[in-house]
Amino acid sequence: MSQDLAAFVRAELAKPVPDAVRAFGEALAQESQAQAVLFYGSILRTGDLTGVLDFYILTRRPPEGLLERWLWPRVGFRQIDAEGTPLRAKVATLSLAAFRRAARGEALDTTIWARFVQPAALVFARDEEAKDAVVGAIAAAAETAARYAAVLGPASGPADAFWKSLFRRTYRAEFRVEKPGREGEIVGFHRARYAALLPLAWRSAGLPFSQDGSAFTPGLTPVERRRLRRAWRRRQRAGKPLNLARLMKAAFTFDGAARYAAWKIERHTGVAVPVTPFRERHPILAAPGVLIRLWRAKSPPSR
C-alpha cells in the first residue's frame, strides 16, 4: 500500500456523515464489541435517512458455527429511534481478519473489494490500530479492484471505462439484479474520484501504465494478463453459486427479517403488516399469511 493511496483512503473514510448515522453506528459497535463500523451505500451519497442504511460491523473474532464462517457475512435488520425519527439499517457482520483477506482478493468472493472500492465512511473505530487496519483493507480493496479493471476494461481508455467494465462484470458474477446502466450511475456520481483513484491504485499495486491526457493504458505483461484472466474466471464461475448459497442462508438466519419485510411492504404498498411474535420467529412460515393480507388489502371491494 503506497502512502498516496493510504492518504486518499484515510481522508475519504473520515468524511462527515449525519450525526444520527454516526450515533447509530456507535450503538451497533457497542452492542457487538466491534473493532470498526463502516457506513456505505446510496444513503452515504444522498443523505436520505428515510431509506435503509447500510452498515458493515467488523469484529475481532469470527462468528461461531461453520456455516457462518464459510458463508459470511451474518446479516440482520435493525431499527432505532433517533430523537423521534425512526432509523432503519441493514447490518452485515464479519471479522476484521476475514474482511482484510477478502479485500486483498484472497478469496473467490468479489463482493468485498467490489463494494469497498466505492465510497465508504468509518463511523466507529475502537482505536488507532483498528483504524489503520481498516484503512489498509480498503486500500487493498482498491488495489484488487483496479487489477481486475485493468484486465476486464479496454486496452486503453478513460478511467471511467475501466470502472464501468469492472462493476458491470462483478454485478453479473454476483447474481445481483441491477438495472441496465447501473455501473454508469455509480461512476457518474463520483467521476472525479474514480479518475483520481485508478492511477493511485495501479501505482500502489505495482501495475505499470501510461497516461495520455485522460486516457490510461495498463502495461500488463502477457503472463500477468493470463494470470488475472484465469483468476477472474474462477471468481466468475463461483460467484452465482456462492451468492445463491448466501441468499438461502439469509432466508433462515436474517435477524429481523419479519420487521424488514413489514417495513418494505408498507413503504412500497401502503399496507401495514403487524409484526406478531409468530411472524418474528418464523418469517418464512408466516409469508403466505402476509401475502393473503396484502392481496386482500389491495383487492377492490366487492359490490
What would the pLDDT profile of 62-105 be if each residue is shown by its tens digit?
A: 766 666 667 788 888 888 887 778 899 999 999 999 999 999 99
In this structure, is the dihedral angle defined by the CA atoms of residues 94, 99, 101 and 103, taken in order, positive or negative?
A: positive
Domain layout of the chain by residue ranges: 3-255, 258-298
Contact 58, 35 (CB under 8 A): yes
Q: What pairs with residue 242 in β-bridges?
A: none
Identity at 147, one-letter amino acid code: R
pLDDT at residue 165, rounded to an integer = 96
Classified by CATH at the fold level, domain 3-255 comes out as Beta Polymerase; domain 2 (3.30.460)
Residue 265 parent element (H or E): helix 257-269
How far is CA 302 from each of CA 224, 272, 291, rounded to the nearest angstrom? 68, 21, 19
* Residue, of 9 and 270, whose pLDDT is higher: 9
SS3 120: strand
pLDDT at residue 64, rounded to an integer = 62
* pLDDT interval class at 240 (50, 70, 90): confident
What would the pLDDT profile of 152-207 be if each residue is shown by its tens digit?
A: 999 999 999 999 999 999 988 886 656 677 888 899 999 999 999 999 999 999 99
Between the two ends of the chain, the Cα-to-Cα distance in Å is 71
> Average pLDDT, stretch 8-19?
96
Ramachandran category for residue 47: left, alpha or beta (phi over 0 → left; psi -120 to 50 → alpha): left
CA distance 165 to 161: 6
Residue 58, C-alpha cell as written in the block? 467488523
